[in-house]
A and B are shown apart, each in its own frame.
Chain A
């Protein structure tokens, strides 16, 4: 046998190496797809940065573990672990488990949010469409899954959790099709709402023209509301996902067979993933998500502001009356006169979405 082939085979025969390689498989395949799809994208370099930034988001989780291990090793109390167990025993283990998995979800989502927000602040041109924000979410989520998978698969062997190939394959399938996809989707949902919040003024003007009363202070409130909404939705789904995966540990009831609990746990996690994938695909296909928002007017309108206001009001009125075809046509003509008007673009995109429904 050729020496290279022999070396390659020996890698796969080594259980630890094989384990880590399997862990990297899913995020790398997903990232390669992203690379081929986005290599000509204006923000390609930033996507790589976000992916790398996403890998760093596992650090706080590692930090928790290290702190815990440090506390155990340096504890002056003779039975430190036992004392923790005694304190925790004041409440049901399910209570602590729920709290723990919510806390983990909170930490992970907050850090992914932090990475996206920091990069957007440094380079506002990065997100000019809501779909740009969704793509950033995919990159950050994949980065996280990439780093977390290394940790999971290396722990699987090094901590002696498992030594069987069957267990490894089960872990591989779970981490590939459930956890990696899950993390990507949680971040996507958050970044979608983050994208909306970024264009708060345009979205609120869109509502204002349909008759909603809007005060100047509402713009900032709208922005904060959508950031919080996205964060909370992704946090809740993430926490539910974590809890469904850990259901056998949380329920721990002698009346329900463990195998049944495992099946319920896997099915509910898969169900959540499927719902999220459908939802994110739906968001990506909508015209509203694809339209490009202009951050600063490059081209001035060739219409007088007062006259354009009349047309905008009419668009709002007819949109509310469901005259989507007319709205779409007026928007097309108005965009020839005022190409950078984000509100007109929003009306056009919404009308197009409504006509497609």
Chain B
């Protein structure tokens, strides 16, 4: 059974009126934990006001399964409905590769740094 730990924090936006949430992940997202983790993200999305941003930091994620990608796609749809953005930050090369083949990079911003992600928010 793989472990995933996460922290949720607020980031200060360049535009003061915008709310930015950052979820920092560590570990592996797989069948054993993804269904328990996803509702936490939905709660964050639910609490976000319109025109906000959610950044997910993937730097310390070594593996994610297909269901996780399905959830990411759904997070994007939910945020889009709230006129908000989803940004995936600092994924490892292999995870970035998966995002590219799935085509997530065509609809979701993927950045190399949190600063870059903030600037896109």
Interface residues of A (CB under 8 A from B): 303-304, 306-307, 310-314, 316-318, 326, 329-330, 333-334, 337
Whether the pair A314, B103 counts as a contact (CB closer than 8 A) is: no
B112 within 8 A of A: no
| Interface mask (B81-105 → A, CB under 8 Å = 1, otherwise 0) | 0000000000000100110111100
Residues in chain A near residue B114, CB distance under 8 A: none
- Are A311 and B103 also in contact (CB < 8 A) when A317-B67, A317-B70 are? no
A-B contact pairs, 6 of them (CB 8 A): A303-B97, A304-B94, A311-B102, A314-B70, A317-B67, A317-B70
Query: Bound state CA distance, A43 and B10, in angstroms?
Result: 66
Residues in chain A near residue B100, CB distance under 8 A: 333
- Are A330 and B67 also in contact (CB < 8 A) when A303-B97, A307-B97 are? no
Query: Bound state CA distance, A317 and B100, in angstroms?
Result: 18
Query: Bound state CA distance, A141 and B67, in angstroms?
Result: 48
- Are A310 and B65 also in contact (CB < 8 A) when A303-B97, A318-B70 are? yes
Could you count the A-B residue pairs with CB atoms below 8 Å apart for me: how many are there? 40
Return the chain A residue nearest B68 by Cβ.
A310
- Give the contacting residue for B101; candidates A303, A316, A317; CB below 8 A: A303
| Interface mask (B30-48 → A, CB under 8 Å = 1, otherwise 0) | 0000000000000000000
Query: Bound state CA distance, A318 and B65, in angstroms?
Result: 14
A334 to chain B, nearest CB (A): 5
- Are A313 and B66 also in contact (CB < 8 A) when A304-B94, A307-B94 are? yes
B85 to chain A, nearest CB (A): 21
Residues in chain B near residue A318, CB distance under 8 A: 70
- Give the contacting residue for B66; candidates A303, A317, A334; CB below 8 A: A317
Return the chain A residue nearest B65 by Cβ.
A310
- Total number of B residues with any Cβ neighbor in A under 8 Å: 14
Query: Bound state CA distance, A334 and B100, in angstroms?
Result: 10
Other CB < 8 Å A-B pairs besides A330-B103, A333-B101, 5 of them?
A: A313-B65, A313-B66, A329-B103, A330-B101, A333-B103
- Give the contacting residue for B98; candidates A311, A316, A317, A326; CB below 8 A: A311
Residues in chain A near residue B64, CB distance under 8 A: 310
B69 within 8 A of A: yes
Query: Bound state CA distance, A330 and B69, in angstroms?
Result: 13
Whether the pair A326, B103 counts as a contact (CB closer than 8 A) is: yes
- Are A330 and B102 also in contact (CB < 8 A) when A310-B65, A310-B69, A314-B66 are? yes
Query: Bound state CA distance, A303 and B96, in angstroms?
Result: 12
Residues in chain A near residue B65, CB distance under 8 A: 310, 313
Query: Bound state CA distance, A329 and B97, in angstroms?
Result: 15
Whether the pair A334, B94 counts as a contact (CB closer than 8 A) is: no
B88 to chain A, nearest CB (A): 15
The 3 residue pairs across chains A and B that have the minimum distance between CB atoms: A313-B66, A314-B66, A333-B101
Residues in chain B near residue A310, CB distance under 8 A: 64-66, 69, 98
Whether the pair B66, A307 counts as a contact (CB closer than 8 A) is: no
Residues in chain A near residue B94, CB distance under 8 A: 304, 307
Return the chain B residue nearest A336 by Cβ.
B101
Query: Bound state CA distance, A314 and B103, in angstroms?
Result: 12
Whether the pair A337, B66 counts as a contact (CB closer than 8 A) is: no
Query: Bound state CA distance, A318 and B97, in angstroms?
Result: 19
Return the chain B residue nearest A310 by Cβ.
B66
Residue among B65, B69, B101, B102 with the most chain A CB within 10 A? B101
Query: Bound state CA distance, A303 and B97, in angstroms?
Result: 8
Return the chain A residue nearest B100 by Cβ.
A333
Whether the pair A307, B103 counts as a contact (CB closer than 8 A) is: no
B113 to chain A, nearest CB (A): 23
Return the chain A residue nearest B69 by Cβ.
A314
